[in-house]
Amino acid sequence: MSTVITVATTGAEVDKRRVPALPVTLDELVGTAVECERRGASVVHVHIRGEDAEPTLDLGRLRETVAALRESTGLVVQLSTGGAVADPEQDRLRVLDAEPDMASCTMGTVNFGDDVFMNRPAFIAELHERMRERRIVPEYELFDLGHLPALGRLLDERGLPFGGHVHVDFVLGVPGGAAGDASTVTAFAEAVRRYLPEGTTFSATGIGRTTLPVMFASLAHGGHLRVGMEDTTSFARRQPVTGNPQLVERAAEAAALAQRPAMTAAEARKLLCVRDSG
Ligand code: KMH
Ligand code: ZN
């Protein structure tokens, strides 16, 4: 099977003043998305920023962003419902009103550096149900091993997501979450087989310097890839990332080497059972 490459362009944590190449305006975001699609990305994971370059969940801006990405790219548009650690639940739920193709759904609470990324069970269930009502495909974000049986339970109790296909993303190397190394990817891949429905697909991303071991291990296990400046701002030792396209290009090269070339956005849409956005 070929490889879905998701690009997480911006995130909520990286400071534009420290990392000037971070795309924060709508023009910067669309520009980087176009380039990333050209280099092999098929999904874009989106956090937006306000005029002050700080994270925001403003609904008007989110709608404008979804429309602009659809206008200029064929990418599957995945909005983050994770937001920033302090974002209230109501604001995170309202993200779905922007009607993206996909949205993230984090499967449990996790320490997040010095903060706590809070995801109560009832809130997770609400996200899962609302996404199905709105025909939005979830990407379940797994920061720790316990998030896998938690997702298995959610699906048993509440049913499959819209489209009937389950896709998860391992987010590894967050200080407070599971480690970003090859044996952790193996443990997560085994837990996918143990706890989740047959046919579940997974991608993996490693934060900071864990990006490469996680990428290679995911490919080795038949998984897909997520890369981007949300997760990594240095390309190599003492070499800052020049932009998201550089990270996508490297991921596409690794996927091609593994004989699993990058999938087109149209192919990813089919695999992930995303509805037609037209
Ligand atoms: N910014 C993190 C607190 C997601 O996008 O769903 C949460 C996050 C996960 O990035
Ligand atoms: Zn995110």
Q: What SS3 class is residue 28?
A: helix
Neighbouring-strand partners of residue 12: none
Residue position matching structure tokens 């023009």: 27
Of 209, 263, 251, give the one whose Cα is nearest residue 227. 251
- Sequence spans of domains, the chain: 5-271
Q: Is 118 a pocket residue for ligand 1 (Cβ < 6 Å)?
A: no
Are residues 195 and 151 in contact, defined by beta-carbon separation less than 8 angstroms? yes
Cα distances (angstroms) measured from residue 267 to each of 82, 215, 259: 26, 21, 17
**pLDDT the model gives residue 276:** 85
The pLDDT of residue 278: 55
- Residue 32's nearest CA partner among 4, 64, 71, 72 is 72
Question: Does residue 9 contact residue 45 with C-beta atoms inside 8 Å?
Answer: yes
Residue 85 · residue 117 · CB < 8 Å: yes
Q: For residue 195, give both structure tokens.
A: 């706890």
* CATH H-level, domain 5-271: superfamily: Aldolase class I (3.20.20.70)
pLDDT for the residue 73: 98
pLDDT string in tens for the chain (278-residue length) = 899 999 999 999 999 999 999 999 999 999 999 999 999 999 999 999 999 999 999 999 999 999 999 999 999 999 999 999 999 999 999 999 999 999 999 999 999 999 999 999 999 999 999 999 999 999 999 999 999 999 999 999 999 999 999 999 999 999 999 999 999 999 999 999 999 999 999 999 999 999 999 999 999 999 999 999 999 999 999 999 999 999 999 999 999 999 999 999 999 999 999 998 75
Q: How far is the CA of 179 from the centre of ligand 1 (A)?
A: 17
Q: Which of 102, 109, 141 most suits a substitution to test ligand 1, by most atoms within 8 Å of the C-beta?
A: 141
- Assessment of whether the complete model's pTM goes beyond 0.85: yes
Tokens at 15, concatenated: 């400071």
Report how far ligand 1's centroid is from the alpha carbon of 259 (Å).
31
Structure tokens of 252?
A: 């596409």
- Cβ of 139 closer than 6 Å to ligand 1, yes or no, is no
